[in-house]
Chain A
Amino acid sequence: MRTTLAILAPAMILGLIFASFVSITVERSEQQRAQTRVEQLLATVERTAQIACYLKDGKLAEEIAHGLMSNRAVAGVTITAGTVMLSHVDNPSLQGPERHRVVIARRIYSPFDSHEWVGSISLTVDHATIHAEAASYSRASTLAMGLEITLVVIVVALAVYFFSTRPIKAVSNELHRIRFDTGARLRVPARNRSDEIGTLVSDVNALIASLADALTTERELRMAHEVGERKLRLIFEKAESGLFVLDDCGILESWNPAFIRLLRLSSTELPQAGVTSLQQLLPPHAADLGQLIRQCLSTGQAYDVDLELRTSATPHPAWIEMALNPIGPTALQGVVNDITERKVEELSAKKLASLATQDTLTGLLNRRGLDMGLSAAFSVHTAPELALLQIDLDYFKEVNDAQGHEGGDQVLRHIARILERNARRGDLIARPGGDEFVIALVGIADSLKAEQIANTIIAEIQQPIDLGAVSVQVGASIGIAFAMPGDSPQAVLIRADSAMYSAKRAGRGRVCLVKAPAPAEAGAAA
């Protein structure tokens, strides 16, 4: 419809322009032709007029005049020979205004002597008639042209309709009804098999085919995806490990049944997706978990942590291992596994290990523990800054004899607490055996400081010890030795031991010190 209009409108406009142009041109040329015709008319009758004038033949002149009057534009004819009027004819039917009349006059010469003037002929031409005739002719040709344009437009419109609009409409209708997945194709209109519409339909068919292919592929993919998803869902639901997804604030988005089971959550504590946070589920670890989530997201790395669960539901402490993996800028995926069994084993192993290095009576290190501690200190630094205090109790044998082993053990535990009080964190405190104690003051090379600590210990030990029924008193002798370059733990122990004996010999209850040699002297001594 639009195409037809697009053809019709310009054709009509152009037609009108052409028609008016033709109308004007035709009218003008018609006027000129009329003028020429009159001139030609005169030329035709000239020879006869010459004879008529030459002979003053009124009859012949009359004939000429009537002949000329047959032209409708001629309003009148006058033929004269000298003073004689040979013929005068007027057309009474032409009543046009005088101003439209033009007189064309010609001199007539003798037919036998072109210099002898024998008469004249004058024609009155009515221009109104010429005008009217030209206008009517122009109207006729304009009409003919308009008719032709109209016919052409109709033919073109019909052609467009039959060869273009109708097949396109048919194809369009078919396209509306077609279902792509059935493998259906458009029919090429029989008459358009080899033109642009035919090509278009083939192209559309190719498009439909590829679309159908794409649809099939997508359906298969979707099915495969669904199967995969179901598989994953099954794995998720049935997994032994607790699986969950978190956002950057720790809010839980999803989890599997194992997660609930592993966290030992009762039916009243069940989380709510999008509301409950991991921190809320594990209040004792809330701060640590918040820290872990931030760390995980900021570094983009996976982290895992062992957490102890203390809940009313579990009489024994349970342990879980939680691993967090960042899966996006604001999302984390977590895995929870029960490691209670492993933790219990670890703890008992640790207990065993500590039994081997610990003095069961005082809880201090035993000889083995002391050796291991010193070895560790000497393995880090070849010449660690270290003051070794060898402490030996005075009068303990007496207390032990008087109060029995029970009393002796109590005294030993008391002494151990005194030593623990005066030592600093990181120092080694040991009871290698009997009433013999060792403190390794790590990081102390200053003899004054070591001596001060030793004196404080002696003073505290000398205070009476309340054993319930009785109060007892013991003393202590302390030998101090410092680690030196190239030293072994054993060498320092021997030096401290001999310093302690020096203190004993010097009268007990005092400190004896093997001074650390100046670096130069140390070099000379080595």
Chain B
Amino acid sequence: MTSVMSSSKWTRIVLQILLALTTLPPARAVTAQTLVVIVNPAIGVQHLSRREVLDIFLGRYRTFPSGASALPIDLDVNSPERTLFYVLLAHKEPTDMGSYWARLTFSGKISPPFAVPDARMAIDIVANNPNAIAYVDRSAVDQRVRIALEITP
């Protein structure tokens, strides 16, 4: 009796939390997500550090630590994943990143990563291109790609 009572009580609390979450702004909803960095299993990269991932995405290196060339795939500029990715890894807001790339567009030899509209497309590219590297929400990952880094807040 008591267990039934308690289980129904817990169900109610969870429902309340979920309700509360739905009323929150989307950005906050993003923080609840877990981002993962994915690579093609064929490239043979087991794990990448946050620094290694960042250097590839910011254009410092265009190779994996193994020496294989790396092709970073960005998500759409307005996507919550992209914002979260750079905030967590580079501690930069989207505007900062914008100015970083703008500075390099005119004088530098480096160009920003290629951007795709959604996670599915990013996963497809990584699945089909051994040199590609991308970040997506953990929930979107499938068997075709390998998780090289889990980015937690």
A51, B109: Cβ atoms closer than 8 Å: no
A55, B110: Cβ atoms closer than 8 Å: yes
Size category of the binding interface on chain B: 10 to 19
B104, A51: Cβ atoms closer than 8 Å: yes
Residues of chain A within 8 A (CB-CB) of B92 are 112
Residues of chain A within 8 A (CB-CB) of B54 are 112
Rounded to whole Å, the gap between the CB of B85 and the closest CB of chain A is 13
| Contact of A57 (CB < 8 Å), options: B51, B89, B109 | B109
| Contact of A112 (CB < 8 Å), options: B58, B107, B109 | B58
Find the residue from A51, A63, A111 having the highest chain B CB count within 10 A.
A51
B91, A55: Cβ atoms closer than 8 Å: no
Residues of chain B within 8 A (CB-CB) of A59 are 107-109
> Is A54 close to B, CB under 8 A?
yes
Complex-state Cα separation, A56 to B107, whole angstroms: 13
B107, A55: Cβ atoms closer than 8 Å: no
CB-based A-B contact count at 8 angstroms: 35
| Contact of A60 (CB < 8 Å), options: B51, B58, B89, B104 | B104
> Is B90 close to A, CB under 8 A?
yes
A55, B90: Cβ atoms closer than 8 Å: no
Interface flags, A213-225, vs B, CB<8A=1, else 0: 0000000000000
> Is B114 close to A, CB under 8 A?
no
Complex-state Cα separation, A290 to B89, whole angstroms: 146
Interface flags, B54-77, vs A, CB<8A=1, else 0: 100011100000000000000000
Rounded to whole Å, the gap between the CB of A119 and the closest CB of chain B is 12
Residues of chain B within 8 A (CB-CB) of A54 are 58, 60
Complex-state Cα separation, A60 to B108, whole angstroms: 6
Complex-state Cα separation, A324 to B104, whole angstroms: 137
Closest residue on chain B to residue A111 by CB atoms: B100
Residues of chain B within 8 A (CB-CB) of A112 are 54, 58, 89-92
> Is B103 close to A, CB under 8 A?
yes
Rounded to whole Å, the gap between the CB of A483 and the closest CB of chain B is 166
Size category of the binding interface on chain A: 10 to 19
Residues of chain A within 8 A (CB-CB) of B100 are 51, 111
**A interface secondary structure, majority:** helix
> Is A48 close to B, CB under 8 A?
yes
Question: Contacts A57-B108, A57-B109 known; A51 to B103 CB distance under 8 Å?
Answer: yes
Complex-state Cα separation, A430 to B92, whole angstroms: 174
Which residues of B32-66 are within 8 A (CB) of A? 51, 54, 58-60
Complex-state Cα separation, A57 to B92, whole angstroms: 21
Closest residue on chain B to residue A114 by CB atoms: B91
A55, B59: Cβ atoms closer than 8 Å: yes
Rounded to whole Å, the gap between the CB of B106 and the closest CB of chain A is 9
Which residues of B110-128 are within 8 A (CB) of A? 110
Residues of chain B within 8 A (CB-CB) of A48 are 103
B107, A63: Cβ atoms closer than 8 Å: yes
Find the residue from B60, B90, B91 having the highest chain A CB count within 10 A.
B60
Closest residue on chain B to residue A51 by CB atoms: B103
Residues of chain B within 8 A (CB-CB) of A60 are 103-104, 107-108
Closest residue on chain B to residue A59 by CB atoms: B107
Residues of chain A within 8 A (CB-CB) of B89 are 112
Which residues of A26-64 are within 8 A (CB) of B? 48, 51, 54-57, 59-60, 63
Complex-state Cα separation, A59 to B51, whole angstroms: 24
Rounded to whole Å, the gap between the CB of A159 and the closest CB of chain B is 61
Rounded to whole Å, the gap between the CB of B112 and the closest CB of chain A is 12
Complex-state Cα separation, A104 to B52, whole angstroms: 33
Residues of chain A within 8 A (CB-CB) of B59 are 55
Rounded to whole Å, the gap between the CB of B84 and the closest CB of chain A is 16
Residues of chain A within 8 A (CB-CB) of B108 are 51, 55, 57, 59-60
Complex-state Cα separation, A57 to B60, whole angstroms: 9
Complex-state Cα separation, A63 to B109, whole angstroms: 13
Residues of chain A within 8 A (CB-CB) of B58 are 54-55, 112
Complex-state Cα separation, A521 to B59, whole angstroms: 183
Complex-state Cα separation, A358 to B113, whole angstroms: 184
Find the residue from A48, A59, A111, A112 having the highest chain B CB count within 10 A.
A112
Residues of chain A within 8 A (CB-CB) of B90 are 112
Closest residue on chain B to residue A116 by CB atoms: B51
Which residues of B1-16 are within 8 A (CB) of A? none
Rounded to whole Å, the gap between the CB of A404 and the closest CB of chain B is 190
Residues of chain A within 8 A (CB-CB) of B51 are 113
Which residues of A57-81 are within 8 A (CB) of B? 57, 59-60, 63
With contacts A51-B103, A54-B60 known, what are 6 further pairs, Cβ within 8 A?
A55-B58, A55-B59, A56-B60, A59-B108, A59-B109, A63-B107
List residues of B whose CB falls within 8 A of some A CB.
Answer: 51, 54, 58-60, 89-92, 100, 103-104, 107-110
8 A-B interface contacts by CB (under 8 A)? A55-B110, A57-B104, A57-B107, A59-B107, A59-B108, A60-B104, A112-B89, A112-B90
